[in-house]
Each structure stands twice: as C-alpha cells, then as structure tokens.
C-alpha cells in the first residue's frame, strides 16, 4: 500500500517549503498540508473545482518545466507538478497584489451590511477581506441592487446582493444532492442564483447551501436575525433523528438551541446533513412536560419528584410481571440499556420491545441473530462497492446520508439496483436499475439479482413487512459473498437492538432463550435469574394491554400513531397503570397515570449507534436539571427495591460495553407464513422525513418545504379503477380514510403508494399496512 | 510576386445562385473532397499541417496540429465542430461566406472530418443571423441529397452526419469550451482546461473546434497543394485570408489577400478614409486586439507582424475610425460590449468590466475626476491575465491601448463631455438623427 | 399559468429536435427557440415541458434560457427590431437610429403596446462593413439611414412586403424563431448571394485581374 502512494507522490516547493503530495492534488490542497492558507471562495474540497472566484491566485515561478507564468494562477484548479515552485501571498508581491485586486473587485458589489448580516463574525468574505484585502476601496460607483430577500424555498432566503457568485450552492445541489432546484441564471453582472418560482419541490438537503455559502447570501428563515455567531456556544454532538448518524454542531445561546449545522465527519456525513437534522429541533419546547404529573381522581396533577417516583414504583410493583415496556426507537444507547435492564431487574419481564413501528416476529429473530453485534459494511464501503442492491429501502427518505454517499459512489461507477414497487426520482438520481417488486415479494425478487463479493445489500425497516425478506438478504449474502446492512430509520434502533430492548434479546445479542446467555446477564446484573421465556413483542403488549391482560405499562418516547394499532394502544394505556417517560405531553403521556419528564436531546449525553453500528457521541449542549430516562428509571428501580444502579450515562455505557458480543449460538432465521390477502389493491408506503413527525412540530418553514403528499398508481391500475392523474382519491384501511391527489407513476400494477406518515393520518390510524389490501375510490377532480 | 488580392474563398461570391449545390458542383466544387477521400486520413492531416494553415478565428493555432491532438486510440466518437459564432466586434467575414458559398465550408467539413476520423460534425451558427441559418440548413440538406453526407458517402464507406445548430445570443460561445457547454444545452460558460477538448470535448469525447474560414480553406489546400498555399503569405503566416475593413473608409468590405499585407495597402484598395477625413485609429483584428494608429500602417498584418507592435492579428477585422470619432466613446461602448457579454463566471471579468464601464461612462459624460484614468489602468491591471478565459483580456486591451494612444482625450473627460469635444453627428454617415 | 399554445404537435416537434442529438439536453437551445416561436416568449409551460422531456429541472432550463439574449423573458412583438449599438455601428449612426426608432415607437428596449414591435439594442451582428445595421427578425437591414428606417417601420406597420438587404422577405419574428429551431422554411433561395460590401475585394480583383496563384497540376 505505501509503495503505491510513494510512487504517486509529487514534490513541489511552496513558500520555500518542500511538500510531497499525491499526483493530481491541487496547489491549494498541497499548501494546506504545510499550513499555508490561501484565501478562497469557490473552492471547496468536496465540490468539483471551478476556478471562478480567482481569490486563490498564486505566483507560479516554475510550473515544473523550468518556466513560470507571467500572471498569477488559480491554485484551486492548477495541479501540482514535480519541481514546481509556488509563492503565495505570504512571499510574493505578485500573489499578494493579485489577491488584493480580486478582493476589491468582489467587494465592489457586496453591500456593507455586515452589522445586520447573520454571517458576520463567521464570514469567509469578511475574514479574508481583513487578511488579504486592501484597507479601502477605490470604487465609488453604483452597486448592484436587488429587492431583498428572495424566498428560495419556505425555509431558505437569498439576499442576492450579498452573493459573490462562487457557485458553491449550485454545485452542491447538482453534484452532491442531485437536486438542482437552484441554478445560476442570467449572465455577466446580472448573473444570480435563481430558483424556478413555480417549482414543486426543493431538496431534503437544502440547508447545506446556507452552511457552505461563504457570504451571508443564503440564510435560513428559522435562524435569520436570531443570534450573532460570537454570542453562540457550539457543541459537537450527534443527530437524534435517523440512523445515518450525522455529526452535528449545535449552537446555543442563553440555554436555547439556536441552530444546528452539519458536523465535520469524513467517515460518516462528510460535511453535510439533511434538513430535518438541521432544522427540526424545536419540538421539545412546544408542550414540554415541566414537572412530574400524577393522575389523581382521573386528572393529571403536578407532583413533586419523590411523590411521582413513589407513585410509579408502587403501581409497577403492584403489577408484578404483568407488565410491558415500550421504550421507543429514539433513545441513546445508554437510555435503551437502562430500559432493558429495568425490565429484567425491576420488573422481572422480557415483555419489552422498542419497535414503535410495525415489525414482525421474524424481524425480532433477525435483529437478535443477524443484527446484534454484526460487522456491517461502512459508508466508505459503499463507495468502493461495485453494486448496491436496495431492498425495501428508499435511502433518501429513510437514511438521507446513505443516499448522498450512494450519489457520490455512483459517480465513481457504482451500480445501484432498486427492488421496489415504485420507481422514484431518488432512485433515478442513483441511475438505479429499477426492478419492480410487489410489496411483500422482495425475498423472491432478491433471489434473481446477481450478487458477488463486491455487492452490498441494503435492507430497510420495511424489510420486516415482507415475509422472508430479511432471511433472504442474509442467505443471499452468505451464498454470494456479498455484504449486507440493515438500515433502520430511527437513530436509537441499533442501540436498542444491541442493548436488548427486544422480547427475545438481552444485551450484546444474548438470546433470552439461551440459558448460558441468561446466566451471563443475570450474573452481571446481580440477579438470581432472568425469565427464560421470550417476552411479548410490541404488538402483543398492546393487544394484551387492550384486553386487560396487563396491569402496567412503561412507555418511553413513543408516538402512539406510529404503532400498528393506535386505538388499541390507547385502550391499553387506559386499562393499565401506565408510567410515561416523556418530555412532551404526547398522546401516551396524556393518558398515563404517572408522567415523568425527561431531558431533551440537547440536555443529555450518551451515544447513538448508527446503521454501521458506529458510535456517535451525544454531548450535552445546554445546562439543565432535567433527568434522562436512565436516571428516572434508576430512581424508580431503587424505590421498588430492585436497583438498576445506573445513575449516570457513563455507568450505563461502561456496563453495556462490558457485555461484549455473544459468541454462542443464536436462533435460526425464520419466515413467517404469508398472510393471504383478499383481491384488491396492495399498499406500499414509507415515511418521509418532512411529513407528519412529532420531531418536526414547531418547524413550520421546514414542514412547508416538504413535497406535497400524493397517492400513486400505475397507469393500468388507475385506468382499471376509472381514475386519472390529478383525481382526488380516497384510500381507506380498516379504520379510516385519507384523501390525496393521484399521480400516475411507473409502478407495479395492482399496488398503490401513499405516505406512511401523512398529515391526515398514519398507516396505523388508517388501519392499513404495507402489503395489505386497501380500498381506493374516486372523490372528485 | 503574388497579386495584391487573391480571391479563393470569396471568388464566387455575388454570382447567381452561388449558394446552391449545383452552382458549387459546376464551379470546381468537391474536387478536393474526392481527392481527399482517396488519401489516407493521416495524409490529409499532414497536408494541412505542412501547409501551415493557422486558425482564422483569432488565436492562430495551426489547424493540422490541432487535429493531430485527437487521440485516435480513444474508442469514443470523435466530433468536429465548426465555430460559426462570429461575434467579435468588427468581424464580419464568416457570415457572408456562409451566405454566398456555404458548400465551401461543407466540403471542408467532409475533408476535415475524414482527416480526424469523425462521423458527426456540428455547425454552431450564432443565432442572430436567420438567413445564414437558412442557407446552411438548405446546403446541408443538399449534401445529404447528393450523397456527401450520411452513410457511406460517395461510396467510400465513410459515414458523416452534419447538424446545423443555431445559438441564441452569446459572444462567449465563440470561446471553444463555452461553445461545447452551449452545444450540450448548458449555460455558455467556459470549461476548466485540462481536460482539453481534443481529449474530452463534446459529450466528454475527443473534439476539434475550428473556425468557418479555417475549414473553408482546407479544400483549396487539398486541391492545390502545400506549396501553393505556402507561396502566399509570410514565412510563419502562410496563405491567404479574408480581411474585413469597416468604418470610415470609402469602400468598406471583405478583401481576400495574402497574410502579411499591410493596412496601408488594404486601405488604399478600400479607397482610403472617407473623403475629407483622416485616419485616427483602427483595430487590426476586432475590438479585443489593441488598437493601432497611423504609425502602424505599414505593419504586416500577420501573426508575427502584429505581435511585434503589441497587438494581435485576431480575426483580421479592421474597424477604422477617422478624426471625428471620440475614442472615449468607442472605448466605452466596447467596454459595455464586454460587460454585456461577460458570462459572469469569474470575478475579474464580471466585476471588472462593470467597474470599467462605470468609470468610462463618467469620462464620456465629462464627469470624470482627477485620477480616473489611472484608476482605469489600475483596474485593468487587476483584471489582466487573472480571468478564467480571455474575454476580459479583450476588454483590458481595448481600454489600455486607447489610453496609451489617446490619454489626453480621456483626461478631457474630467471636464468636457465627449460629445462636445467630438460632436457625435459628425461621425455618423448621414445627417440628422432623431426626428 | 399564462396562456400557452404548446400542443401535441409542438411536443412532437420538440421530440424531433431531441432526436437530432446523441444526448437530449443538447437540444435545449433549439427547443427554446421553438417554444418562442409557438408562445412568443420562453413561457412557463415551455420551460416545464422542456424540463420534463429532457429530464432536468425547470431551474436548469431557466438557467440556460436566461443566459442567452435571444430568449425573451417578456412576450415579443410581431417584429423584432435590433439596432446595433456596438462601437462601430453606434458611431456611424446606430445611436441616432436607435433614438429615432425608440422615439417613434415610444418604447426603450421593450415591446410596443400594440404588440407590433420589440425594440432592442443589439451587440455587433457581424455586418460591420454594412454599418450602421439594423436586424429585423434577425434578417440584415444593411447601410441604414434615418429615411430607410422610417420607411422600414412604415412598411412593416402597413403590412407591406419588406425585403432585407440580405435575406428572405420579412414575415414575423416567430417564423424566424422556428427557423432557428432548425425547421427549414424553404426560403434559402430568396435574397442576394452577397451584399455590395462583401464584394468589394473580389470586384477590385476582377477589375485588376488579380487572383491567387494557379494550383498544382492535378
């Protein structure tokens, strides 16, 4: 490996210092290597070189051929050559003068509105004007004027006067996100960044243009005029929304999060994130539970912490093991571990399941036997793979940074195959081969895809909804040498699997059904035994609760509407003594008997494990006395005389790490029998980040930038139902209906696509499920 | 001794139906193509190389050498693009050529495409010339009809398709990489080089871009030989070319003559400066080439001769102005031209041309301030050589050369409007303007 | 959405343009010319149809259409009058011609209320030896004078036939936009072979019996 690198090295001299860099490196990157910062605007290491702002001009005394250039050259586009001699602004008057000249030209049309500009204080233009610009300007003419600002999307504003036309934003949307919703328009002095005013949608990654804009041209509505960079306190942390695992930089002032930026993490999100990760962070403040609540005479009443803990402990103790625990999929690893331990130690039950979405029995086995402790491919592996096969997975909507990495990989020659009931624009961005698959038939379809050791199969959470699909993924990989990864949607899912928040699993992939595994865990936890029976899963807990078979429930951050049967869940809460650990007055909290307020994500520390099983550190951003789930569970357990001894995050993570991976046998993967469907239109659906989601609450600009909801049918199916594009259709499950405008799309005949998280109702609220029959009817034009 | 004028490309202009296939075929047309198709492609390429034909679109790069850069081992298709985006102020030779003798270019395309192993050529014509597009569309159709374009042309087994493509108003598309962007349906902004078009041009395939006049000259070289071509012109600037004379001369027009002819000779043929007036300044090769004056009348109009006096041959377009003309006015207009045509990609050109225009307009209006002329030069210095392509360099040349020759006239702009010092109606060709 | 005349036939023709090129996006410029010929402007519907057909975003189509000056953002008139205003034409009378026409039509770089004319200053149109030059629907009106300009507008207004000095009889701006989209109108044989100035050199050569040397024996 090192030999190869050696032969490709080129040695040049910059400001009298020799540096060796790989062939093809640009001068500006080579200079960075030896700590020489050449000013720049259009240059960005992750974007294709453009050479348009000309700020990075340097004096090339020798191009490596014994001759230099009479004029200064752009260091962002010129690549190094052996023996090249370069002088930057630090050692060359020519370079210094050229840079000062360019800076003056850039500023002739830039307004002097730094005092009211959001970027001031962290502005590359401001900073570099100070370091390489002239002290004054010789320009005394008219500056360009535009009416300000332009609403580019409901979330983004553009002050065109401030724009220096570096095209970072337009290159980002085209090269990185594959969503050219903005483009340079007009030309010459009238050139500007423009959006098509009637365009239907922007980009899920649009917020990145604010971050890479080297001036204050792009601003986010939600942050505009909200704070000054120098008043903010920044903390590096990890995004809580999905399993992509983006590093974040969260900025707070006066104890309130003001904005979030993509963190720098070359191995994961590089320098990007999605709009949900960037903009959705206000929901916790909307209907925050400020104090513990205890139901007295049918009413939730504020209570002191000791009172509430006593009430919770008493109720749970009384229920014994007739109890179920629904921690939800959004917990940090440490909190999830605390629920897992609490269920076994304090409640003596395996009735625990983090899955607030629809899952399956075979999925639980898959999670225990194939996911827990698995060595999965990484983001980097996606770039070097020759083929990626998507099974029940829309990367852009279900793990947005995976989509960005795939876009990058496709440019390098990756082939993507998409097994899906519907052809999508996101999969077209990947130039994917679309293999039409009826919902539920993924296992069979995968069998027909040619795989080899250079292939990676990515299966999403919807894999659980197709009989045998998860097993088929593992078997196809084993047979062909291909690798695979399960990419769930929620940030806490992998951590929940690894910590044993499943009815069949204990920490580190230890099977509940395995006596040695139970002994392992019992010993570590100081218990005599751990119940040996596989517990109830989420659906069974809800059903049992609704039927009055459970006496108590412990519910974490679960949106009841996400569950397969929200009505049953309400009934279950109603009929059982329910302890809700929540930061908002959610549906579950409102129905619970004891509500214990938990810390917001910015008020706690811990880790999320992303789909790669890579740990991302969650750091406390704001000071707060709010307790995390684990601290609360610790108090309850102590009160119940069954201590879990987890009064700090560190304790939880150390204890979890102490388990390591289970080396013993795990149950074989299984396939549940397919539930026969009556004649009718089969449903396919997924959740999109910007549609209904409690996490988006309070972010109207973000919600407004989501694409419009719709239903989709194939042309033939639409025709057979007497429908055409633009018709208003109603789609009904067993419980309720929603009305959506119809689009006619390339998709499998006999299926319909609708949003799984429509603002009108989730699939659970409709009484509908992927792969099941729904009723479709015309409602009008 | 060669004659003063040597009509080759212009020979049949003005003749009845000169633009038709039949006319061309009956007047010696296609002899060269027939000859070339019997040669080996390398032989054709070497002939053009040996003849020393240099690009007639401004830069003067040897045409045959340009062809030889096409990597023949590259399995991708090769493209030939004819640059008919003639837009440099003063340049007006390609449009009349395409109107009068379109088949000359088309025969040149057959030969050139054959030489570089290209099977698809495009003719990119500026959009603002409807009749030129019309004549070219008809001429290309006639070539298909007569088996010169299409599959197996003239039974030689060589396939060649030719597509006429009209632009839509952008000077910058005369720059070859901007032309490629435009032809790919993008904004006409120049591309980063490398990769050079010869390696990755149109559709990332090997591409050669040549000017109309260059390609149209090829048939005569094939037909008459290397020595014939080299017998005209000067040592390093071989052959003949079309000189375009416009402005305050008695007989403006196109004059086809050997390279190295002087402007004094051409001006004489053009009947001199209009009656009662004297030469003030002229551009030798379009507005982007530094302007010259009386003292340069005997400079040979070839690549070397003009370089020696600090200018360029460019497109050999002599815009000629007499003493009634305000140089501040013409310079301001040219600067406005560059400002208008700047693609906007790079800072020096986009911002710099705008600044130049603002200062020049003040000077033209007599509202300049002490130091403005030096400021103009300083801004030029901050642009010169630092822009992405050469468009801004044209703006700089026209401003700096005008100041070099006529500085006092610019300084007069601190006090006196140009229209007072040089009443504009005196420069016009007719009396009276606004009714 | 504003009115659009784009119909199935137009879409069919847009597809024909795309078929001329190995990559559909190359057809963008002629497609925009065709849209202008149909709608008299780069219409919203035109942008959307092109984006759909070519498979790019509307923002990208708009980015291209606004780059080139021949594509209009506001509906054009029946005739497009372009007065060359680059230095040489301007000095030789172009400025005066522009002022005169602008005053007569009552518009400065825009379209007359009756939709008859769109007046614009244009940059050098490669006819400098015929200066000052006016382009009508991108046909050459060489060696213009105030009198000729007056008559030109009179004739166009009255619907009398107008022959360019080098070109085909004027019909309308939209007709020529269709031509620029690559749909030949059958009129190549109209007009002269070359204008007077184009022939200056070759006529002098004929008078003096000047020619290029004789070529090699074949």
For every residue of A711-733, DSSP letters joined together read EEE-HHHHHHTT--TT-EEEEE-
- State whether residue C123 sits within 8 Å of chain B by CB: yes
Determine, for residues C124 and B90 on separate chains, whether the beta-carbon distance falls below 8 Å: yes
pLDDT at position A200 is 79
Cβ contacts of residue C186 below 8 Å, gap of 6+? none
Q: How sure is the predictor about B435, in pLDDT bands with cuts at 50, 70 and 90?
A: very low
Would you tell me which CATH number, out of the four given (1.10.3470, 2.60.40, 1.25.40, 1.10.10), belongs to the domain C8-67? Answer: 1.10.10
pLDDT at position C12 is 98
Instruction: Give me the interface pTM, i.e. the ipTM.
Output: 0.97
User: Judged by CB atoms within 8 Å, which residues 89-108 of C form the interface with B?
Assistant: 90-93, 95-97, 99-100, 103-104
- State whether residue C52 sits within 8 Å of chain A by CB: no
Residue B219 tokens read as: 């048939």
How far does Cα A745 stand from its chain's mean position?
A: 27
Nearest chain A Cα distance for residue B248, angstroms: 31
**Span B24-35, average pLDDT:** 97
* Sign of the torsion angle spanned by Cα atoms A167, A169, A174, A180: negative
Nearest in space to B122 (alpha carbons), one of C26, A98, A310 = C26
pLDDT at position B431 is 79
The string of pLDDT tens digits covering residues C127-180 is 999 999 999 999 999 999 999 999 999 999 999 999 999 999 999 999 999 999
SS3 at position A418: strand
Residue B230 tokens read as: 């080299």
Q: Which of B7, B19, B245 sits opposite C193 (nearest CB)?
A: B19
- A 10 A CB-CB count for C34 gives 25
pLDDT at position A82 is 97
**Span C5-22, average pLDDT:** 98
CA distance B2 to A10: 54
Whether the CB-CB separation of A46 and A271 falls below 8 Å is answered with yes
Q: Which residue has the tokens 């690559």?
A: C182
Q: Which of A39, A69, A175, A189 is the best residue to mutate to test the B interface, defined by the most B CB atoms within 10 Å of its own CB?
A: A189
How far apart, in Å, are the Cα atoms of A350 and each of A115, A336, C158?
59, 14, 93
- The DSSP secondary-structure symbol of A116 reads G
Nearest in space to C199 (alpha carbons), one of B415, B256, B29 = B256
CA distance B247 to B429: 10
- State whether residue B195 sits within 8 Å of chain A by CB: no
Determine, for residues C59 and A195 on separate chains, whether the beta-carbon distance falls below 8 Å: yes
- A 10 A CB-CB count for A137 gives 13
How far apart, in Å, are the Cα atoms of A468 and each of A474, A672, A674, A684?
10, 7, 9, 17
Fold of C79-172: Glutaredoxin (3.40.30)
Tell me the count of A-B CB pairs closer than 8 A. Answer: 92
pLDDT at position A3 is 46
- State whether residue B420 sits within 8 Å of chain A by CB: no
Nearest chain B Cα distance for residue C73, angstroms: 13
Nearest in space to A566 (alpha carbons), one of A763, A325, A780 = A763
**Span C5-10, average pLDDT:** 98
Nearest in space to A213 (alpha carbons), one of A141, A157, A274, A145 = A157
Phi, psi of A726, rounded to the nearest 5 degrees: 95, -20
Q: Which residues make beta-bridge pairs with B320?
A: B247, B282
* Sign of the torsion angle spanned by Cα atoms A253, A256, A259, A262: positive
Residue A104 tokens read as: 């003056």
Whether the CB-CB separation of B348 and B370 falls below 8 Å is answered with no
pLDDT at position B1 is 72
- A 10 A CB-CB count for A710 gives 16
Tell me the count of A-C CB pairs closer than 8 A. Answer: 41
Whether the CB-CB separation of C38 and C46 falls below 8 Å is answered with yes
DSSP-based helix, strand, coil % in chain A, nearest 5: 30, 20, 45
Cβ contacts of residue A753 below 8 Å, gap of 6+? A421, A422, A683, A684, A685, A711, A712, A713, A745, A747
- State whether residue B384 sits within 8 Å of chain A by CB: yes
CA distance B231 to C218: 17
Determine, for residues C47 and A196 on separate chains, whether the beta-carbon distance falls below 8 Å: yes
Interface of A with B (CB under 8 A): 49-55, 57, 70-72, 77, 98, 101-102, 104-106, 108-109, 138-139, 141-142, 164-165, 184, 186-191
Q: Which chains touch B (3 or more CB pairs under 8 A)?
A: A, C
CA distance A688 to A710: 12
Whether the model clears a pTM of 0.90, i.e. scores above it, the answer is: yes
How far apart, in Å, are the Cα atoms of A238 and each of A336, A499, B89, B199?
16, 19, 59, 45
Q: Is A726 exposed, middle or buried (0-12, 13-18, 19+ CB in 10 A)?
A: exposed
The string of pLDDT tens digits covering residues C186-214 is 999 999 999 999 999 999 999 999 999 98
Whether the CB-CB separation of C122 and C82 falls below 8 Å is answered with yes
Alpha helices in A434-514 (DSSP H): 442-446, 469-480, 493-499
- Alpha carbons within 13 A on the beta-carbon side of B282: 34
Nearest in space to C168 (alpha carbons), one of C181, C184, C149 = C184
SS3 at position B33: helix
Whether the CB-CB separation of A333 and A659 falls below 8 Å is answered with no
Q: Which residue has the tokens 């984006």?
A: C51
- Alpha carbons within 13 A on the beta-carbon side of B222: 34
> What is the mean pLDDT, run by run of 10 residues, along chain A of 781 residues?
62 98 97 98 97 98 97 98 98 98 97 93 96 92 90 96 98 98 97 92 94 97 92 97 98 96 98 98 91 96 98 97 97 98 97 96 97 96 98 98 98 98 96 96 96 98 96 98 98 98 98 96 95 97 98 97 97 98 96 98 97 98 96 98 96 96 95 84 96 92 94 98 96 97 97 97 96 93 67
CA distance A98 to B378: 11
More confident position, B11 or C217: B11
Residue A403 tokens read as: 């989509």
SS3 at position A351: coil
How far does Cα A643 stand from its chain's mean position?
A: 35
DSSP-based helix, strand, coil % in chain C, nearest 5: 45, 10, 45
How far apart, in Å, are the Cα atoms of A197 and each of A150, A158, A166, A194, A202?
10, 13, 22, 9, 11
- Alpha carbons within 13 A on the beta-carbon side of B349: 30
User: Judged by CB atoms within 8 Å, which residues 316-355 of B form the interface with C?
Assistant: 317, 319, 321, 325, 329-331, 333-334, 337, 340-341, 343
C2 pLDDT more than 70: no
- Chain C residue with the nearest C-alpha to that of A196: C59
Start-to-end CA span in chain C (Å): 66
What is the domain partition of chain C in residue ranges?
A: 8-67, 79-172
């Amino acid at each position: 490996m090192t030999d190869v690198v050696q032969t490709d090295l080129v040695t040049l001299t910059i400001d009298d210092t020799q540096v060796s860099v790989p062939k093809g490196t640009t001068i500006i990157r080579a200079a960075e290597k030896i700590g020489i910062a050449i000013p720049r605007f259009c240059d960005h290491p992750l974007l294709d070189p453009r050479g348009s702002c000309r700020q990075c001009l340097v004096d090339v005394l020798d191009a490596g051929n014994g001759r230099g250039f009479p004029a200064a050259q752009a260091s962002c586009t010129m690549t190094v050559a052996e023996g090249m001699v370069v002088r930057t602004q630090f050692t060359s008057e020519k370079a210094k003068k050229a840079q000062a000249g360019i800076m003056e030209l850039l500023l002739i049309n830039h307004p002097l509105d730094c005092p009211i500009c959001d970027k001031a204080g962290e502005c590359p233009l401001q900073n570099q004007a100070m370091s390489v610009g002239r002290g004054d300007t010789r320009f005394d003419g008219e500056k360009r004027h535009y009416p300000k600002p332009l609403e580019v999307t409901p979330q983004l504003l553009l002050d065109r006067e401030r724009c220096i036309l570096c095209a970072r934003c337009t290159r980002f949307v085209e090269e990185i996100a594959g969503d050219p919703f903005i483009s340079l328009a007009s030309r010459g002095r009238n050139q500007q960044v423009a959006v098509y005013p009637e365009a239907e949608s922007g980009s899920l990654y649009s917020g990145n243009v604010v971050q890479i804009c080297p001036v204050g041209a792009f601003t986010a509505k939600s942050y505009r005029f909200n704070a000054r960079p120098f008043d903010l306190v920044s903390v590096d942390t990890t995004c809580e929304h999905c399993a992509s695992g983006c590093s974040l930089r969260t900025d707070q002032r006066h104890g309130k999060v003001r904005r979030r930026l993509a963190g720098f993490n070359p191995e994961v999100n590089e320098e990007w994130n999605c709009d949900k990760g960037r903009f959705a962070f206000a929901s916790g403040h909307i209907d925050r539970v400020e104090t513990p609540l205890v139901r007295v005479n049918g009413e939730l009443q504020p209570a002191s912490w000791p009172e509430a803990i006593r009430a919770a402990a008493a109720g749970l103790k009384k229920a014994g093991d007739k109890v179920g625990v629904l921690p939800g999929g959004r917990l940090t690893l440490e909190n999830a571990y605390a629920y897992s331990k609490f269920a076994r130690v304090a409640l003596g039950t395996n009735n625990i399941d983090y899955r607030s979405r629809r899952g399956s029995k075979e999925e639980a086995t898959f999670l225990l036997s194939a996911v827990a402790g698995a060595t999965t491919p990484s983001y980097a592996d996606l770039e070097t793979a020759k083929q990626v096969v998507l099974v029940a997975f829309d990367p852009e909507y279900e793990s947005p940074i995976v989509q960005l990495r795939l876009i990058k990989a496709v440019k390098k020659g990756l082939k993507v195959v998409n097994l899906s009931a519907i052809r999508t624009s996101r999969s077209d961005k990947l130039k994917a081969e679309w293999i039409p698959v009826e919902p539920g038939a993924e296992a069979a379809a995968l069998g027909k895809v040619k795989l080899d050791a250079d292939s990676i199969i990515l299966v999403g959470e919807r894999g659980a909804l197709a009989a045998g699909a998860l097993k088929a993924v593992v078997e196809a990989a084993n047979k062909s040498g291909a690798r695979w990864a399960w990419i769930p949607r929620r940030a806490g899912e992998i951590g929940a699997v690894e910590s044993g928040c499943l009815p069949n699993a204990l920490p580190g992939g230890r099977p509940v059904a395995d006596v040695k595994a139970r002994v392992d865990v019992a010993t570590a936890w100081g218990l005599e035994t751990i119940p040996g029976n596989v517990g109830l899963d989420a659906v069974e807990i809800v059903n049992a609760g609704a039927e009055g078979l459970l006496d108590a429930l412990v519910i974490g951050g679960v949106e009841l509407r996400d569950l397969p049967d929200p009505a049953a869940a309400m009934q279950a809460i109603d009929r059982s003594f329910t302890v809700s650990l929540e930061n908002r007055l959610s549906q579950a909290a409102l129905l619970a008997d004891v509500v214990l307020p938990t810390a917001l994500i910015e008020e706690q520390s811990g880790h999320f494990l992303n789909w790669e099983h890579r740990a991302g550190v969650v750091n406390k951003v704001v000071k707060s006395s709010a307790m995390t789930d684990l601290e609360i569970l610790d108090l309850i357990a102590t009160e119940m005389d069954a201590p879990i001894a987890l009064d700090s995050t560190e304790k939880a993570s150390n204890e979890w790490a102490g388990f390591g991976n289970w080396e013993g046998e795990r149950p074989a993967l299984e396939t549940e029998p397919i539930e026969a469907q009556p004649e009718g239109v089969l449903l396919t659906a997924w959740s999109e980040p910007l549609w209904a989601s409690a996490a988006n609450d309070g972010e109207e600009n973000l919600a407004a930038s989501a694409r419009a909801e719709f239903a989709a049918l194939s042309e033939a199916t639409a025709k057979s139902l007497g429908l055409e594009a633009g018709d208003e259709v109603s789609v009904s499950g067993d419980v309720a209906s929603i009305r959506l405008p119809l689009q006619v799309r390339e998709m499998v005949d006999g299926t319909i696509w609708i949003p799984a998280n429509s603002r009108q109702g989730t699939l659970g609220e409709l009484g509908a499920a992927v792969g099941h029959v729904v009723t479709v009817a015309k409602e009008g034009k | 001794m060669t004659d003063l004028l040597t009509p080759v490309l212009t020979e049949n202009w003005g003749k009845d139906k000169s633009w038709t296939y039949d006319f061309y075929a009956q007047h010696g047309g296609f002899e060269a193509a027939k000859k070339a198709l019997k040669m080996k492609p390398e032989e054709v390429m070497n002939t053009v190389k040996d003849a020393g034909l240099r690009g007639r679109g401004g830069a003067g790069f040897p045409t045959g050498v340009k062809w030889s850069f096409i990597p023949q081992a590259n399995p991708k298709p090769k493209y030939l693009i004819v640059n008919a985006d003639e837009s440099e102020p003063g340049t007006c030779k390609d449009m009349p050529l395409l109107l009068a003798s379109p088949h000359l270019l088309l025969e040149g395309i057959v030969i050139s495409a054959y030489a570089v192993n290209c099977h698809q050529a495009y003719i990119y014509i500026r959009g603002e010339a409807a009749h030129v597009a019309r004549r070219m569309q008809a001429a290309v159709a006639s070539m298909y009809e007569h088996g010169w374009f299409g599959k197996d042309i003239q039974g030689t087994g060589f396939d060649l398709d030719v597509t006429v493509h009209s632009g839509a108003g952008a000077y910058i598309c005369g720059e070859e990489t901007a032309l490629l962007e435009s032809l790919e349906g993008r904004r006409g902004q120049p591309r980063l080089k490398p990769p050079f078009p010869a390696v990755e041009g149109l559709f990332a395939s090997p591409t050669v871009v040549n000017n109309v006049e260059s390609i149209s000259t090829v048939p005569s070289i094939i037909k008459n030989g290397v020595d014939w071509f080299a017998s005209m012109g000067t040592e390093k600037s071989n052959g003949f070319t079309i000189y375009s004379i416009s402005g305050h001369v008695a007989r403006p027009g196109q004059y086809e003559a050997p390279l190295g002819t002087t402007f004094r000779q051409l001006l004489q043929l053009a009947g001199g400066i209009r009656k009662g007036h004297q030469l003030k300044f002229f551009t030798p090769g379009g507005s982007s080439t530094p302007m010259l004056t009386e003292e340069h009348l005997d400079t040979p109009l070839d690549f070397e001769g003009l370089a020696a006096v600090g200018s360029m041959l460019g497109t050999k377009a002599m815009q000629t102005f007499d003493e009634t003309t305000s140089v501040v006015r013409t310079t301001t207009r040219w600067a406005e031209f560059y400002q208008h045509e700047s693609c906007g990609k790079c800072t020096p050109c986009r911002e710099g041309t705008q600044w130049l225009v603002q200062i020049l307009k003040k000077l033209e209006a007599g509202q300049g301030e002490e130091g403005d002329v030096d400021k103009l030069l300083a801004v030029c210095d901050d642009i010169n050589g630092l822009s992405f392509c050469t468009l801004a360099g044209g703006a700089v040349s026209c401003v700096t050369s005008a100041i070099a020759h006529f500085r006092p006239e610019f300084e007069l702009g601190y006090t006196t409007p140009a229209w007072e010092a040089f009443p504009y109606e005196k420069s016009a060709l007719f009396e009276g303007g606004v009714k | 959405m504003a009115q659009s005349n784009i119909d199935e036939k137009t879409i069919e023709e847009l597809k024909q343009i795309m078929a001329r090129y190995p990559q559909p996006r190359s057809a963008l410029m002629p497609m925009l010319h065709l849209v202008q010929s149909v709608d008299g402007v780069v219409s919203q519907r035109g942008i959307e149809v092109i984006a759909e057909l070519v498979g790019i975003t509307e923002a990208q189509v708009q980015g291209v259409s606004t780059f080139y000056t021949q594509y209009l953002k506001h509906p054009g008139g029946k005739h497009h009058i372009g007065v060359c205003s680059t230095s040489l034409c301007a000095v030789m009378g172009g400025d005066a011609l522009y002022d005169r026409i602008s005053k007569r039509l009552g518009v400065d770089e825009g379209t007359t209320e009756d939709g008859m004319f769109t007046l614009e200053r244009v940059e050098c149109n490669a006819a400098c030896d015929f200066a000052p030059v006016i382009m009508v629907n991108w046909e050459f009106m060489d060696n213009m004078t105030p009198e000729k300009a007056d008559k030109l507008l009179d004739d166009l207004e009255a619907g009398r036939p107008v022959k360019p000095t080098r070109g085909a009889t004027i019909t309308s701006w939209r007709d020529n936009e269709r031509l620029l989209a690559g749909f030949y109108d059958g009129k190549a044989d109209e007009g002269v072979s070359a204008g007077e100035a184009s022939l200056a050199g070759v006529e002098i050569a004929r008078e003096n019996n000047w020619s290029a040397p004789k070529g090699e024996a074949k």
